[in-house]
């Protein structure tokens, strides 16, 4: 399998990151980036995977045949995604004058970058320090089981009252 699927997945994932950064709220760019958690990243990754077309995956297995037609289609798709991301980046405040080279470096820079063991350990150490600082700054209230069940009951009642509610959806929620 070639790198086309992985590159396509990365591009689509980065679109989700940009969409998150462009959301309209009062937070600064750095605050928005710091608010990205593993759960959001996993949802974005799953959504990105869902957006990959089956033909892209199919074409990636044709590496042995390497027909010019398949390579041209992958290149066209990659260029289209690149231009969409470039347009989105240029809408960010402070990024209006970003060059095409800067955007390409952000999109494809990690393909050439090799991370050493020392760099990985430094990154992990920095993340642990950041996490402890974040825990000290913000204490998230833990929701009790009783509160959770009360909210779920309200949601179930609401859905059951809707005329277009499907019974199997209600059953799924009740199983929670």
Q: Which pLDDT score is estimated for 59?
A: 78
Helices 4-22, 100-108: axis angle to 10 degrees equals 120
Which pLDDT score, from 0 to 100, does residue 48 have? 92
Task: Give the start-to-end residue ranges of the domains of the chain.
Answer: 3-113, 145-175
Rounded distance between C-alpha atoms, residue 125 and residue 60, angstroms: 37
Q: Which residue has the higher pLDDT, 137 or 35?
A: 35
* 74-94 residue pLDDT tens: 566 666 777 777 777 777 767
pLDDT tens profile 27-75: 788 888 888 889 889 999 999 999 998 888 887 777 656 555 555 555 6
In this prediction, residue 140 carries a pLDDT of 67
What is the model's pLDDT at position 49? 92
Contact partners, residue 56, CB within 8 Å, separation at least 6: 4, 5, 8, 74, 77
The model's confidence at residue 7, banded by pLDDT at 50, 70 and 90, is: confident
In angstroms and rounded to an integer, the radius of gyration of the C-alpha atoms of the chain is 22
Question: Is there a contact between 81 and 8 (Cβ–Cβ < 8 Å)?
Answer: yes
Q: Which residue has the higher pLDDT, 150 or 173?
A: 150
- Long-range contact pairs involving 136-145 (C-beta distance under 8 Å, separation at least 24): none
Interval 9-30 mean pLDDT: 85
Q: What is the pLDDT of residues 97-126, one digit of tens each?
A: 777 777 777 777 766 667 777 777 777 777
Residues 130-145: b if buried by 16+ CB within 10 A, e if exposed? eeeeeeeeeeeeeeee
């Amino acid at each position: 399998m070639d790198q086309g699927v992985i590159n396509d997945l990365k591009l689509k994932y980065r679109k989700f990151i940009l969409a998150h950064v462009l959301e309209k709220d009062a937070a600064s760019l750095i605050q928005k980036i710091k608010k990205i958690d593993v759960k959001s990243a996993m949802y974005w990754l799953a959504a990105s995977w869902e957006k990959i077309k089956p033909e892209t995956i199919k074409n990636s297995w044709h590496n042995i045949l390497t027909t010019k037609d398949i390579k041209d289609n992958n290149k066209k798709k990659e260029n289209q995604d690149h231009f969409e991301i470039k347009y989105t980046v240029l809408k960010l405040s402070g990024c209006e004058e970003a060059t095409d080279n800067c955007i390409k470096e952000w999109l494809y820079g990690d393909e050439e970058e090799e991370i050493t063991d020392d760099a990985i350990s430094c990154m992990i150490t920095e993340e642990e320090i950041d996490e402890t600082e974040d825990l000290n700054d913000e204490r998230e209230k833990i929701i009790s089981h009783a509160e959770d069940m009360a909210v779920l009951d309200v949601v179930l009642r609401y859905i059951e009252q809707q005329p277009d509610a499907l019974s199997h959806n209600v059953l799924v929620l009740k199983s929670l």
